[in-house]
Amino acid sequence: MYVTTDPKNPDAWSLVPGTDKDHLNHDASLFYDSEEDKIWHSFGCSPKEPIYVQQVDAATMLKTGPVYEVCYKNSRDHGWEDRGGDWLEGSQILKRKGVWYVIFAGYSLESSYADGVYTAAAPTGPYAYAEYSPVSNKETGYATGAGHGHLFQDLYGNWWKVTCSSVLALDYFERRINLFPAGIDSEGQMYANTALTDYPVTIPTGPRDHRKSCLKGWMLLSRKAKAGASSSEPDHAPENAFDENIKTWWNAASRNEGEWLKVDLGTTCTVHSIQANFAEDDTGEYDPSRAIIQYKVEYSNDDAHWKMMVDKWENRDDRSHDYTELPQAVKARYIRLVNRAAAFGGKFAVRDLRVFGNAGGDAPSPVDEFSIERLDDTRKASLRWNAAAGAEGYVVRYGIAANKLDLNYQLYDTAVQIVTLNKGVPYYFRIDSFNRNGYAEGALVKSVPAQ
């Protein structure tokens, strides 16, 4: 651990004596309890050991006193912990209105992260499992995973959850950092709102309820749209840049300025924002000075005459997942991304070019009926429904109360098997629908009993 009174000066940091030998263990989280003037930390990263809590000496910043066990892995009863890996890690300890929370990650490298929580009346425990866990999870969508992270509050008191998602395309440990609206409600229940939050989300201007939608209402226009490019390499076709899969990408055959990627939205749409998610292809070792990405985005309605939409031609920053909201919406059918320079001298490569706005039609009808069956393995449930008129996709929302449908699956089918339930806990479900024009909340909520 290092300390400084001048954090912006990289030469002003000094080692806290002893912490190079007696560090705070893997994945440590510190919390200062101002009411008791004590520092506590949670830690643990192991396939066999539990998550622990221990006090930290405020003068020396070294561990002190007994070590308390919080939890072991329990995939037998908790479906969301059965993720193909046995590790517990990524904990956070915090106190809220007299309740102590220890959040922890259930995880596997082959899948993704999700976070659960245990609570206690004191930092020393005993800790009880919160049956509404996982408190943050994202099984589906563009970037999956919403665990191994921490809660924090903004200047208005709103809670947010910063987490990891697994990519695993270029490296076994390849990750991205996500940020989700979150909260702790009046009954002390934690949650993170991950439904469609890889769509544009509003920035708060004051306190707000993060259980309610924070979406801008701009829908994804580019998924599975007709694609073209100036050139491509085998196994990296232009369609890869519009498949809503962060693990795949298109790349041009060269590094040359002027290489381009194009999408036909199928009809003239109102475009509000663009997200260019670049891939690292044939880049060599990481060097911050070579992380610059330079490009431009153009639009057209006849595929012949082009106008500027986004100008990053002179950009000097690392913009690997570059999101741009347009000052004014434009009417466009064709969108073209043009290369000037890719990061690290690599090939011009794009995981997904995501276009948001409205296609000019009607929002879908709501889902007004569905069937649900809790399976013999009661950590799982199967749902089926008829296609809603005009729907492109669906968000299956579920939770432990009809007004707390905090978990979700996003899909483009009319059936799904949920595998993240807890044994012995009743659940409530609702199915929402969406398309390129809007979102429709489901017309009913159904429950299944604890089994």
**What are the pLDDT digits (tens) for 48-104?**
899 999 999 999 999 999 999 999 999 999 999 987 767 889 999 999 999 999 999
Q: How far is CA 137 from CA 51, 74, 122, 169, in A?
A: 19, 17, 27, 21
Segment 241-265 shows an average pLDDT of: 96
Identify the domain containing residue 417 by its residue range.
371-448
pLDDT tens across 147-198, in order? 999 999 999 999 999 999 989 888 888 999 999 999 999 999 999 999 999 9
Q: What dihedral do alpha carbons 146, 412, 171, 347 form, nearest 10°?
A: -120
Q: Kindly report the pTM of this predicted structure.
A: 0.94
Cα(312)–Cα(332) distance, integer angstroms? 19
160 and 47 in one domain? Answer: yes
Q: Which residues contact 220 (CB under 8 A, 6 or more apart)?
A: 199, 244, 354, 355, 356, 436
According to the model, what pLDDT value does residue 19 have? 87
13 and 148 in one domain? Answer: yes
441 and 348 in one domain? Answer: no
In a domain, 6, yes or no: yes
In a domain, 23, yes or no: yes
19, amino acid identity: T
Bridge partners (DSSP) of residue 398 are 407, 429
Cα(115)–Cα(107) distance, integer angstroms? 9
According to the model, what pLDDT value does residue 390 have? 98
261 and 177 in one domain? Answer: no
252 and 134 in one domain? Answer: no
396 and 275 in one domain? Answer: no
pLDDT tens across 328-383, in order? 999 999 999 999 999 988 999 999 999 999 999 999 999 999 999 999 999 999 99
Domain count, the chain: 3
In a domain, 204, yes or no: no
110 pLDDT more than 70: no
Beta strands in 144-207 (DSSP E): 147-153, 159-166, 175-184, 190-192
